[in-house]
């Protein structure tokens, strides 16, 4: 319960530092988010169960392990969550993708849903929710609420940066959903931005600011 895994892998930390830098270009930021997505995917799938299957090598037959258990769904929260998807699909090409459209009302900071499309068997799968910036956590809480309404029982959350306030709020609502993040920053400012953070991840990824 209330698990938070901070991924301290040197490549993740190095790339996160590059992403924090205000001078990073849109192209560079997007590329790095993709790469970090791949590395975080490696970590969030570290404990997936394996089962031996019989195969034939060119030399002989053998029992060899393959990933078993629930199949995966990546569930990016639009827009910024999209930045993780390609890197993760490179590692798990057979995964399905559920798109969850939520935006933050800039005045109330509440999550407003405008789109939800998940594979029909989403309830049978392990769902990995993707939200690069866990700030107020309103979007992540709403996304997991919605996925639970659809019957999902096994969920994980991957972010790039988390604020302590966001972790507290998320685990207040969904204590059994573990979080993977590259760093836990200091706090949220009065506009709901993570400090020191990296700014608005969606704007930086799409060049919309
Ligand atoms: N969303 C962002 O993109 N950045 C923040 O700092 C907080 C929420």
Helix (H, G, I), strand (E, B) or coil at 193: coil
- The predicted-structure confidence for 82-103, as pLDDT tens digits, reads as follows 999 999 999 999 999 999 998 8
- Every domain of the chain and the residues it spans: 4-206
Q: ipTM more than 0.90?
A: yes
CA of residue 74 relative to chain centroid, distance: 8
Average per-residue pLDDT for the chain: 96
| Four-CA torsion 30, 75, 176, 190, nearest 10 degrees | 50
Class of domain 4-206: alpha beta
Under the banding of pLDDT at 50, 70 and 90, the label for residue 71 is: very high
pTM: predicted TM-score of the whole model, two decimal places? 0.95
Confirm whether residue 140 is marked as ligand binding.
Answer: no
How close is the Cα of 71 to the center of ligand 1, in Å? 30
Catalytic residue status for 52: no
């Amino acid at each position: 319960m209330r698990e938070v895994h901070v991924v301290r892998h040197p490549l993740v930390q190095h790339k996160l530092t590059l992403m924090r830098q205000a001078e990073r270009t849109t192209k560079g930021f997007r590329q790095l988010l993709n790469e970090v997505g791949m590395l975080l995917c490696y970590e969030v799938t570290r404990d997936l169960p394996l089962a031996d299957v019989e195969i034939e090598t060119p030399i002989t037959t053998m029992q060899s392990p393959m990933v078993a258990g629930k199949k995966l769904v990546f569930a990016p929260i639009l827009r910024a969550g999209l930045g993780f998807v390609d890197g993760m699909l490179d590692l798990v090409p057979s995964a399905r993708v559920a798109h969850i459209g939520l935006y933050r009302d800039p005045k109330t900071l509440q999550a407003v849903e405008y789109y939800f499309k998940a594979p029909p068997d989403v309830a049978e799968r392990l769902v990995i929710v993707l939200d690069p910036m866990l700030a107020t956590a309103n979007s992540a809480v709403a996304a997991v609420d919605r996925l639970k309404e659809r019957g999902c029982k096994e969920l994980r959350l991957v972010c790039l940066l988390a604020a302590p306030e966001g972790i507290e709020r998320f685990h207040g609502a969904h204590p059994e959903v573990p979080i993977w993040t590259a760093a836990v920053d200091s706090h949220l400012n009065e506009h709901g931005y993570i400090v020191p953070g990296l700014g608005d991840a969606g704007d930086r990824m799409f060049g919309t600011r």
